[in-house]
């Protein structure tokens, strides 16, 4: 991976964490660095999936990825998180960082 790719990669991990935190703070009334059990599980799951993604070198392939990144349950949860936190982050974070994530969730 090039440095640039690596940077985008780390950014994506950061974004997931920020989004889940935002959501959890609002919906589950947690504070600062704390997450409720459910959201913590979701975060760990998301980071794990990112780490395991076989196509992280070339994100374009996410569309054709045969690996089921998110199981149904987790997909529903992360969708809710993104629906809530996504629009709130779009101004502070460039949109490209969402692309990979969105592709992961959209696949059939
Ligand atoms: Zn929560």
* Integer Rg of the chain from CA: 13
Contact at 8 Å (CB) between 17 and 105? no
Asked if pLDDT for residue 77 goes beyond 50, the answer is yes
Instruction: Give the model's pLDDT for residue 49.
Output: 80
CA of 9 to the centre of ligand 1 (A): 24
Contacts of 85 (CB under 8 A, 6+ apart): 18, 19, 20, 22, 23
Q: How far is the CA of 52 from the centre of ligand 1 (A)?
A: 24
- Give tens-digit pLDDT for 81-96: 988 988 787 666 655 5
Return the pLDDT at 40: 96
Distance of CA 59 to the CA centre of its chain: 14
User: What's the gap in Å between 78 CA and the centre of ligand 1?
Assistant: 11
Residue 61: its pLDDT value, please?
A: 46
Q: Which tens digits make up the pLDDT trace of 1-56?
A: 678 777 777 877 888 899 999 999 999 999 989 999 999 999 998 888 877 765 55
């Amino acid at each position: 991976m090039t440095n640039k790719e690596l940077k985008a990669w780390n950014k994506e991990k950061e974004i997931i964490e920020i989004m889940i935190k935002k959501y959890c703070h609002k919906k589950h009334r947690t504070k600062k660095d704390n997450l409720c059990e459910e959201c913590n599980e979701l975060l760990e799951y998301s980071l794990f999936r990112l780490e395991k993604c076989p196509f992280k070198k070339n994100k374009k392939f996410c569309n054709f990825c045969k690996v089921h990144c998110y199981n149904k349950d987790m997909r529903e949860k992360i969708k809710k998180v993104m629906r809530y936190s996504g629009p709130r982050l779009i101004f502070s974070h460039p949109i490209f960082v969402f692309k990979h994530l969105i592709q992961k969730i959209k696949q059939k």
